[in-house]
């Protein structure tokens, strides 16, 4: 009998009707002969409601007490889902993070899981019960309630799947799987049956926000097969597994893109050791995350240093750079808020030469000027003017034949 951990997010359990629908889905998978552990988030809106209450009390609520408060959100859901399963005649039992016991460190609001005691869950499964676990929360060694921070329920599900040696960890979302690219941009985008963890990480971090990065990393580390599927529509979704579980890999799995990028260049920096650090140090200190970084070979002892940041941080970063440029004796700072990043992702590109040139050729044929290029083992990213986003993505989707079924 297979053990499956299923995770339903806030939207999937956002009302009494939806909780009943989740109970139907869970019962369906159990009826197929599986042992089921369900991980749920707070009902959508609930976490915001509780956070609002806290902020009405205090502008800086204590992190320990915030965890006590927020953890009630999932606790409500586990009780209601267990009741819904029981009302269908399915034995079920709920557990808070503390009851399981999901032991975490003491970093309130962003705790990390250290250890999971699976004894109670295994005992319940052995008795034919469906086990319903509160996501996003745990308990530290002193018995304090902790929360795992953003994406925490996914992490709970993957960690439970790893602890139980589950056959699959299913993440139910509002999409029916992972697509070759965003179907709103390319209507021909195709749902992928399989994908590797590495590809999923590149797709996720590049803007295809189906899964939390942390949970994919976690699944990869413990080799837990992840399946992304829809709460609202039937289907097998997309399975995310290790590379050796994907028999024949397509060259390119998908095209990710990011509309939120902005580009900054320090022009005419003296080409000396330590320059990159002197530029990026103050940016990091200002809590600005940097994405792509490019420095080309210089001439005349000068070089240009370019990087991209989230568009929201553009003005802040610009101001910092103007000061840094003066200190470094650089010529000037230039920037562009109207750029986007488009990336080809695929583990197959490692063993196939010529992907990059095919990509650049396809873009050139459409008159799209490439402003920056950055590559890694399984992806090639280009920065282009904002206005070329849709054209660029569609062009590449077609050039690499992604609308066709897997071969």
The DSSP result for 145-191, as a single string, is EEE--TTHHHHHHHHHHHHHT-SEEEEEESSSS-BSS-TTT-TT--B
Smallest gap, in angstroms, from Cβ of residue 77 to its own copies?
Answer: 9
Smallest gap, in angstroms, from Cβ of residue 145 to its own copies?
Answer: 8
Smallest gap, in angstroms, from Cβ of residue 109 to its own copies?
Answer: 13
Nearer to its own copies, 92 or 163 (CB): 92
Q: Please state, in angstroms and rounded to a whole number, the distance separating the CA atoms of residues 148 and 47.
A: 13
Residue from 62, 322, 337, 406 in contact with its own copies (CB under 8 A): 62
Residue from 3, 5, 27, 78 in contact with its own copies (CB under 8 A): 78
The DSSP result for 326-365, as a single string, is HHHT-SEEEEESSEEEEEEE-GGGGG-TTHHHHHHHHHHH
Contact by Cβ (8 Å): 296, 265: no
- Nearest Cα neighbor of 169 from 135, 138, 140 is 135
Contact letters (x/-) for its own copies, 111-150, by CB under 8 A? ---------x----------------------xxx-----
The one segment of 65-73, 161-169, 191-199, 350-358 that binds its own copies by CB under 8 A: 65-73
- The continuous run of DSSP H or E covering 275 comes out as helix 275-285
Residue from 64, 122, 191, 278 in contact with its own copies (CB under 8 A): 64
The neighbouring-strand residues paired with 95 are 133
Residue from 6, 30, 41, 71 in contact with its own copies (CB under 8 A): 71
Smallest gap, in angstroms, from Cβ of residue 86 to its own copies?
Answer: 5
Q: Please state, in angstroms and rounded to a whole number, the distance separating the CA atoms of residues 9 and 232.
A: 12
Smallest gap, in angstroms, from Cβ of residue 68 to its own copies?
Answer: 4
Nearer to its own copies, 108 or 190 (CB): 108
Looking at residues 86 to 115 of the shown chain, list those that interact with its own copies (rule: CB under 8 A). 86-87, 93-94, 96, 98-99
The one segment of 59-67, 262-270, 343-351, 375-383 that binds its own copies by CB under 8 A: 59-67
Contact letters (x/-) for its own copies, 273-292, by CB under 8 A? --------------------
Nearer to its own copies, 132 or 208 (CB): 132
Total interface residues for its own copies by CB under 8 A: 37
Looking at residues 14 to 43 of the shown chain, list those that interact with its own copies (rule: CB under 8 A). 16, 19-20
Q: What is the dihedral of CA 236, 240, 246, 249, to 10 degrees?
A: 100
Looking at residues 339 to 398 of the shown chain, list those that interact with its own copies (rule: CB under 8 A). none
Tokens, residue 319: 């101001």
Residue from 83, 213, 370, 373 in contact with its own copies (CB under 8 A): 83
Smallest gap, in angstroms, from Cβ of residue 116 to its own copies?
Answer: 15
Give the pairing type, strands 102-104 and 92-95. Answer: unpaired
Does 245 engage in binding with its own copies (CB under 8 A)? Answer: no
Omega within 30 of 0 (cis) for the link into 101: yes
Segment 313-318 long-range contacts (CB within 8 Å, at least 24 positions apart)? 313/262, 313/288, 313/289, 314/262, 314/264, 316/286, 316/288, 317/262, 317/264, 317/283, 317/286, 317/288, 318/264
Residue from 4, 40, 84, 347 in contact with its own copies (CB under 8 A): 84
Q: Chain-centre distance of CA 14, in angstroms?
A: 21
Nearer to its own copies, 67 or 168 (CB): 67
**Angle at Cα 308 formed by Cα 307 and Cα 312, nearest 5°?**
140
Q: In what order do the strands lie in the sheet with 137-139?
A: 113-116, 102-104, 137-139, 145-147
Residues that bind its own copies in the complex, under the rule CB under 8 A = 16, 19-20, 50, 53-54, 56-58, 61-62, 64-66, 68-69, 71-72, 75-76, 78-80, 82-84, 86-87, 93-94, 96, 98-99, 120, 143-145
């Amino acid at each position: 009998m297979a053990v499956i951990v299923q995770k339903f997010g806030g939207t999937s359990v956002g009302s009494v009707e939806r909780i009943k629908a989740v109970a139907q889905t869970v019962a369906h998978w159990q009826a197929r002969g599986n042992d089921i552990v369900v991980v749920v988030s707070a009902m959508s809106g609930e976490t915001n409601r509780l956070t609002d209450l806290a902020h009405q009390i205090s502008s800086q609520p204590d992190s320990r007490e915030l965890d006590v408060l927020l953890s009630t959100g999932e606790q409500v859901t586990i009780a209601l889902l267990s009741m819904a399963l029981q009302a269908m005649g399915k034995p079920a039992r709920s557990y808070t993070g503390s009851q399981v016991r999901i032991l975490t460190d003491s970093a309130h609001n962003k705790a990390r899981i250290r250890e999971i005691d699976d004894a109670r869950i295994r005992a319940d499964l052995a008795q034919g019960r469906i086990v319903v676990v509160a996501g996003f929360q745990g308990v530290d060694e002193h018995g304090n309630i902790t929360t795992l921070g953003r994406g925490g329920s996914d992490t709970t599900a993957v960690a439970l799947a790893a602890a139980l040696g589950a056959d699959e960890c299913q993440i139910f979302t509002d999409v029916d799987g992972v697509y070759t690219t965003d179907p709103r941009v390319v209507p021909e985008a195709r749902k992928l049956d399989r994908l590797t963890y590495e590809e999923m990480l590149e797709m996720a971090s590049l803007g295809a926000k189906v899964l939390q990065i942390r949970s994919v990393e976690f699944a990869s580390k413990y080799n837990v097969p992840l399946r992304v599927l829809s709460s609202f529509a039937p289907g097998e979704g997309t399975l995310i597994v290790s590379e050796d579980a994907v028999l024949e890999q397509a060259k390119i799995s998908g095209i990710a893109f990011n509309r939120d990028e902005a580009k900054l260049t320090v022009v005419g920096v003296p080409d000396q050791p330590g320059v990159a650090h002197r530029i990026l140090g103050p940016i990091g200190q200002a809590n600005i995350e940097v994405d792509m970084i490019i420095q080309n070979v210089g001439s005349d002892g000068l070089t240009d240093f370019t990087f991209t940041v989230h568009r929201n941080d553009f003005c802040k970063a610009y101001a910092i750079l103007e000061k840094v440029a003066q200190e470094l004796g650089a010529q000037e700072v230039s920037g562009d808020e109207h750029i986007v990043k488009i990336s080809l992702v695929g583990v197959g590109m490692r063993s196939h030469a010529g992907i990059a040139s095919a990509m650049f050729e396809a873009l050139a044929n459409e008159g799209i000027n490439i402003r920056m290029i950055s590559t890694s083992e399984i992806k090639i990213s280009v920065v282009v003017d904002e206005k070329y986003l849709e054209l660029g993505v569609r062009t590449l989707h077609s050039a690499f034949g992604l609308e066709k079924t897997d071969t």
